[in-house]
Amino acid sequence: MARCSFLGLGVMGAPMARYLVKAGHKVVVWNRTQAKSEAWLEAVGSKKANIANDPAQAAFGSEFVFSCLGDDPDVQSVYAELQPTMGGGMVLVDHTTASADLARQLDEAAIKKGALFVDAPVSGGQAGAENGQLTIMCGGRDEAFKKAEPVMRAYAKQITHIGGPGAGQQAKMVNQICIAGIVQGLSEGLAFAQNAGLDPAKVIEAISKGAAQSWQMENRWQTMVEGKFDYGFAIDWMRKDLRIALEEARANGSKLPVAALVDQFYADVQDMGGSRWDTSSLIARLTKGGTGNGEGGE
């Protein structure tokens, strides 16, 4: 079993770190809010788990350092603190959804210190993390991925090595671009059905096994119709992810008119007070509904 550290115990990181312990690994955790680390340790209740006062202390002596943070500045800050303990064949795995440029910078910095780096953003939301069923898109050198992949199995159902440093982050951008268009289409379809006086349940029954089928339809149509949006990934985080994707698109010459439009629709929902509603709340701007109070995050 490996000596691991996990940095960032949000709604995604806390269960991921718990699954590492469950798999038998020795885990030291750190979170900016110490109370979260203490609560995590108490809930895990394992002699193989411990908490640290700062990222460097958490990573000291670790073979694998995992992180799941907020945005590029958060990752940069934490990795700056890791510099004194980085090296000796250590493998650093960042699960944050961040920019591809930052991933490449972190890879280069790790190599200079004798360490390895994998950018490994995840998909599956809070439920996927809680159930140990995340999908992980990885970028990095072959050696780094081969070492990290068996340990990540503790909390993943699918792990794919997309390519070199930054490729994992770019794949996550594709994921978010696709989700944005799917949720908007589903929102418009459900709002149309309601305005036409149709029974949404019967409509979904009719179309959900055909070409319109999607995970969002199967898992979110009913809560969308009910105006309940506290089921996972928050709009604040989705807008962060779309911002990163749109910046990357400008850099590589891609045209993302739908993603850009949906990003503005999410801004409308934020203005309605829905910053912490989940991403399915796009329908709220079409129906003026919504009672969500979601706490979904990265």
Measure the CA–CA gap between 233 and 280, rounded to whole angstroms: 9
Show the DSSP H helices in 196-290 as ranges: 200-207, 215-226, 235-252, 257-271, 284-287
Largest separation between any pair of C-alpha atoms in the chain:
65
What's the length of the chain?
298
Amino acid at position 270, single letter: Q
**212-220, Cβ contacts within 8 angstroms, sequence gap of 24 or more:** 214/182, 214/186, 216/179, 216/182, 216/183, 216/186, 216/280, 217/186, 220/183, 220/186, 220/280
Beta strands, E only, the chain: 3-7, 26-30, 49-51, 64-67, 91-94, 116-119, 122-123, 134-140, 156-163
88: its two tokens: 């000796």
**Strand, coil or helix: what is 7?**
strand
Query: Which residue in the list 26, 113, 172, 228 is annotated as catalytic?
Result: 172
- Cα first-last separation, the chain: 27
Q: Specify whether 172 is catalytic.
A: yes
Q: How many CB atoms lie within 10 A of CB 195?
A: 10
Give dist(CA 63, CA 8) in Å, integer.
Answer: 17
d(C-alpha 53, C-alpha 200), whole Å: 51
Give catalytic residue positions.
172
